Amino acid sequence: MLDSKYTDHKTFFLPFIHKLLSSFHSSLDLTFVIDGSEVGNGCTALMISLYYGSLFAG
């Protein structure tokens, strides 16, 4: 979490995310893949990935 009086998630992350998501073609599926993994000393890394396309091709 950003903990600064100078910036927050709305000014730091949202402009980038909006530009990224608006660049994808709307006819293909967007799937968010979320993984929380222990990285040491009791810490957890949260990874949020974006899968673009058909997740279950068949």
Work out the percent of the chain whose per-residue pLDDT is above 70: 84
- Cα 12 to Cα 14: distance, rounded to the nearest angstrom: 6
Task: Judge whether 41 lies within some domain.
Answer: yes
The predicted-structure confidence for 23-44, as pLDDT tens digits, reads as follows 877 777 788 899 999 998 888 8
pLDDT of 13 reads 80
Question: What pLDDT is stored for residue 30 in this prediction?
Answer: 81
Counted domains in the chain: 1
pTM here is: 0.51
Answer yes or no: is 4 within a domain. Answer: no
Q: Tokens standing for 50? A: 């974006």
* Range of the structural domain that residue 18 is part of: 9-52
In a domain, residue 14? The reply is yes
